[in-house]
Amino acid sequence: MEPIANTEDLQAKRAAGEGYIYNDDQGGVEMHVFHRATCTTLALAKVPPRKWFSLDLQDALNWLHAYRGQEDVNWHRCDTQNSQCFG
């Protein structure tokens, strides 16, 4: 995973339509969300809060487990219906 520098970088990665984005916001698990780059809930997202990017799903999951802990305890996949994400 690599840090996303700013909002323009985030939107460029979304526009490319490939990869995965992790929202590393403060707060509980509800604020620590893992998205596909195509997720429509990211359309108005900004940096900060800190976000991370990976082109590879397994690389992203390995990083999340190593640095953010257990899925559905410390972070979760976006499950918003009709968002072109994991939901």
> Residues 31-73: pLDDT tens digits?
899 999 999 999 989 999 999 999 999 999 999 999 999 999 9
Range 61-87 average pLDDT: 90
3-state class (DSSP) for residue 87: coil
Q: Is the peptide bond before 48 cis (omega within 30 degrees of 0)?
A: yes
Q: What angle do CA 12, 17, 23 make, to 5 degrees?
A: 70
Q: Which residue is associated with the tokens 């918003």? A: 80
Please give the structure tokens belonging to residue 37.
Answer: 């780059």
Q: Is the pLDDT of residue 4 over 90?
A: yes
What is the pTM assigned to this prediction? 0.91
Report the pLDDT value the prediction gives residue 87, as an integer from 0 to 100.
64
Residue 7 reports pLDDT greater than 80? yes
Q: What is the mean pLDDT of the chain?
A: 92
